[in-house]
Structure 1
Amino acid sequence: MRDLFNFGQMLSAHARTAPERVGARDLDRAMSFRLWNERACRLANALLGLGLAKGDRVAILAYNCVEWCEIYAATAKAGLVALPINFRLTAPEVQFIVENADAAAMIVQDELTGLVEEARQDLGIPDDRFIHFGTKPRPAGYRGYEDIIAAAADREPGQQVALSDPWTLMYTSGTTGKPKGVLRSHRSAVLLSMVTEIELKLSRNDGALLVMPMCHANSLNFFGAFGYIGGVNSIYSRKSFDPEHAVTTLADGGSTFTSLVPTHYIMMLDLPRGLRAQHDFSAVTKLMISSAPARPETKREVMEMFPKSGLYELYGATETGWVTMLHPHEQFTKLGSVGRECVGAAPIRLLDEAGNEVPDGEAGELYSSNAHTFDCYWRLPEKTREAFRGDYCSVGDMARRDADGYIQLADRKSNMIISGGENIYPSEVEALVGAHPGVKDIAVIGLPDDKWGERVHAVIVPRDGMAVQESELVEWAKERLAGFKRPRSYAFITDAEMPRNATGKILHRELKKRFS
């Protein structure tokens, strides 16, 4: 009996059954399934022709562009492991990942070669396996991406690739210490794609606008789901998020779905109402909000802006894939929740420090168990063991469960503030203080305090065009938060000064360094 197809094999099937249908595109180019598959086969054969063997890691350093679609498919066909690297990293951070993963080849977009050159001789990659693509002239010492594709055979590589074989090695953003490599198999990708298709009720008539970086698990996971179903993967190929351009792109009718972080939605909601009213969003039927806590008022405004679209919220991680999903019909009855466990998953466990289940309403560390959890942390067996209790996995997030089984995130365990012996979860304070109409964004951190151990400190980004005073926020918090949870100090910064990772998630540790 034939096993499930991996992504490369599924692309081949689409190329046979719907060869001229558009399968992948960015803002400049489009590829039919036939062309996409042909180029992926050529790239796979080219990489194998350079001496790469099954299981070797291929580092990719690029902005969002359609080449990501080719590279992910080519590595799947060749039995290679895709190693996506965040383009926002510094040269030393890039060097750490490439060396730690023991990469055998590296594909680099032209504007990003500077991040490689500084440490190129130390990376351990043979000189003939640095590959360049882009519009600028090819630098010395690089092979041309288009050259190796043109010179390679367009036949299927014929490599035996099992579902248990690894496909991606994706490094976490490193909220604590050095980033860890998360190794995921083809089976994990297939099963997560199926879960996504069931939860979102996807069909081949759906198309995804992938805005978040293609080096990030969110876009990779949705890319897989839409690729498997035979929908269109549209890559938002801009180096940074432009809310006005994004609104226009969503309104052009080419995509039915997108997944954005709360910051993206806030930026679009800050556009003038008159400008937003010029656009027809009726083609967009599904929206996802994820990767960072979403304030209830943000979700309400999103639903008003996109009245024809169902709003979903998910909670997940690079290691676990999707863990919970909140569906459109639950938004108003369970606003503030991230839903219940996804289809096919075991019941979520919320545990205290001793490993005991906490009662409903109390915060515990969230453990999930599903068939698409990651295989291991790359070369970190002890860290892998720490992440698991039997078949259950945790990434250190704290959550509460209500009487109906719905999950509400409290915070990352590492972000928890202990003030006067009380546990305070920043996301709760952020949600309530951030509901003030003059607050565009907020981050709450714990700062050293001689009396309390830590004090609650709120870092505020005022809403554009509004002047919010600390005294207003003090009164606002007094009406909504218990005394020990209220911020004892405030700081006001601009949106550009708020530190974020590639997905828009606020880096609380950077704020703690700045204000401590």
Structure 2
Amino acid sequence: MSGPGTVPVVRAADSEADQRRVAGELRARGVGRGERLVVSAAASPELLAVVLGALRSGVVPVVLDPALPAAERAALVEDADPALDVGDDPGQLLGHAVGDLAPFPLARPMHYTSGTTGRRKGVWSGVLPDDDARALAREEIDLWGLTAADRYLQLSPLHHSAPLRFAVHTLLAGGEVLLPGPFDAARAARTITEQRPTTTFCVPTHLLRLLREDVDWSSFRLLAHAGAPCPEPTKRAVLAALPDGAVQEFYGSTEVQFTVCTTEDWLAHPGSVGRARPGRRLTTDERGQLWCEVPRWARFEYWRAPEKTAAAWDGDRVTVGDLGRVDDDGTVWLDGRREDLVISGGVNVYPAEVEAVLDGHPDVVESAVFGVPDDEWGQRVVAAYVGPVAPDELSAWARERLAPAKRPKAVHRLDDLPRTSTGKVRRLDLPGVLGL
């Protein structure tokens, strides 16, 4: 780890030594294989050691947002039923005794879904058979080409599944993790320029803010983004700023990963989310809902919610309720979530389709489309957006490009859109924000 006053650097060998101390302490405390360990702490070398030390001991870490209100945290802890809760102090598990570690994680962390559309659900995979556990780790390392030469820049909170997954697998591949602290665009820009990371995961909000800074992007071989749709002007600006081929997008969820979109695929199909990851196949049903066939090691259930698990699975196929299309060549397009669908006068309106039109205006930074109750039409389409364009001008832009049922009946300019901590827009909050 680096010295005081600098960005902490977690090195694989140092972390492995700490992971062995975690394994020894878990054994001393009687926390066994398949049991759950709750931790809710800010990003730190200790947190990474606890997550990996637990996983490589067959203990399942339940990683919670340290900013959760006390009542919500208590409810999730009760639901998770852990053998141990270390709260915001993962360092207490770095004991003196050392324990054995498996060469790869034996489980996935249990995360709770973000709750943008309802009650949070725990995503549980349990302890995997060794062959499946090895395949799960190998898939992630091979997909992103992670090696001991990588320096991964942590920009997103570690209590979310994607950034934690990148950090964990970078360390498993022998690389390093840079931990500059809670996201601050100026600090992140300095870290990129001075520390020369090779990889990062981020959300479009990070990209929007970093593009306003003076950043030397030349060290990156991989910038992966996901978590929310990326406005086309932002995507093109990032592609222009980074080395050729370094920008990759992916489509996934807390539950399961679906696609990867290389720079080449996105330029050929702007706005798509790429093609299925290796070992997966995506199809749609008669309602336009996306289903994905996944390998054994990608299976999961919703913790203590068998009815929700049953609704998500059909044999080896799984859905998280997203709507979309799959072209003949396997290119996948997202139309939104079933819960976000607006039905106006009997016509299905997909917010993502309307947002793509609004985001195409040169003075729109980003937009969000949602439905509000309407006595005549059932729901009417409403849009909120960020950018200098006047509402009347944006309405005229939409009228020229959308069928009548899809045109927003009102557009509202905001300084920012409400989001989850992963950068996803909280569409369901917008009526309250706007007083509708």
TM-score by length of 2: 0.91
The corresponding residue for 1:170 is 111
The corresponding residue for 2:427 is 508
1:475 Cα deviation (Å)?
1.3
Aligned partners of 2:254 and 2:133: how far apart in 1? 12
Residue identity in the other structure for 2:123:
V
Match of 1:284 among 220, 223, 229: 220
The yes-or-no answer on 1:37 pairing with 2:16 is yes
1:190 Cα deviation (Å)?
4.2
Aligned partners of 2:13 and 2:37: how far apart in 1? 24
The verdict on how the C-alpha distance between 1:377 and 1:493 changes in structure 2, with shifts beyond 3 A counting, is same
The yes-or-no answer on 1:376 pairing with 2:301 is yes
Aligned partners of 2:345 and 2:134: how far apart in 1? 48
Aligned partners of 2:5 and 2:366: how far apart in 1? 30
Aligned-residue Cα RMSD (Å) equals: 2.5
The corresponding residue for 1:77 is 56
Aligned partners of 1:202 and 1:313: how far apart in 2? 16
The verdict on how the C-alpha distance between 1:190 and 1:513 changes in structure 2, with shifts beyond 3 A counting, is farther
Question: Does the CA-based 8 Å contact 1:458-1:487 persist in structure 2?
Answer: yes
What pairs with 1:186-205 in structure 2 (closer than 5 Å)? Answer: 187=128, 190-205=134-149
1:470 Cα deviation (Å)?
1.0
Question: Does the CA-based 8 Å contact 2:107-2:133 persist in structure 1?
Answer: no
1:480 Cα deviation (Å)?
2.0
Question: Does the CA-based 8 Å contact 2:198-2:222 persist in structure 1?
Answer: yes
SS in 1 for 2:124: strand
The yes-or-no answer on 1:226 pairing with 2:170 is yes
The corresponding residue for 1:138 is none
1:431 Cα deviation (Å)?
1.6
Question: Does the CA-based 8 Å contact 2:291-2:317 persist in structure 1?
Answer: no
Aligned partners of 1:340 and 1:212: how far apart in 2? 24
The corresponding residue for 2:349 is 424
SS in 1 for 2:267: coil
Question: Does the CA-based 8 Å contact 2:282-2:326 persist in structure 1?
Answer: no
SS in 2 for 1:175: coil
SS in 1 for 2:87: strand
Question: Does the CA-based 8 Å contact 2:249-2:262 persist in structure 1?
Answer: yes
1:317 Cα deviation (Å)?
1.2
Match of 1:263 among 205, 216, 221: 205
1:245 Cα deviation (Å)?
1.7
1:309 Cα deviation (Å)?
5.3
SS in 2 for 1:337: coil
What pairs with 1:209-220 in structure 2 (closer than 5 Å)? Answer: 209-220=153-164
The verdict on how the C-alpha distance between 1:433 and 1:382 changes in structure 2, with shifts beyond 3 A counting, is same
The yes-or-no answer on 1:352 pairing with 2:297 is no
The corresponding residue for 1:474 is 395
Larger Rg: 1
The yes-or-no answer on 1:100 pairing with 2:79 is yes
Match of 2:236 among 300, 308, 311: 300
The corresponding residue for 1:8 is none
Residue identity in the other structure for 1:472:
E
Question: Does the CA-based 8 Å contact 1:171-1:181 persist in structure 2?
Answer: yes
What is the total number of aligned residue pairs between the two structures?
431
1:201 Cα deviation (Å)?
3.0
Question: Does the CA-based 8 Å contact 2:231-2:366 persist in structure 1?
Answer: no
Aligned partners of 2:399 and 2:163: how far apart in 1? 40
The corresponding residue for 1:119 is none
Match of 1:493 among 406, 411, 414: 414
SS in 2 for 1:439: coil
Between the aligned residues of both structures, percent identity stands at 32
What pairs with 1:315-326 in structure 2 (closer than 5 Å)? Answer: 315-320=251-256, 322-326=257-261
The verdict on how the C-alpha distance between 1:32 and 1:469 changes in structure 2, with shifts beyond 3 A counting, is closer
CA offsets per residue over residues 314-344 of structure 1, 9 Å max, x none? 0011111x21111122221111111111112
Aligned partners of 1:510 and 1:76: how far apart in 2? 36
1:80 Cα deviation (Å)?
1.4
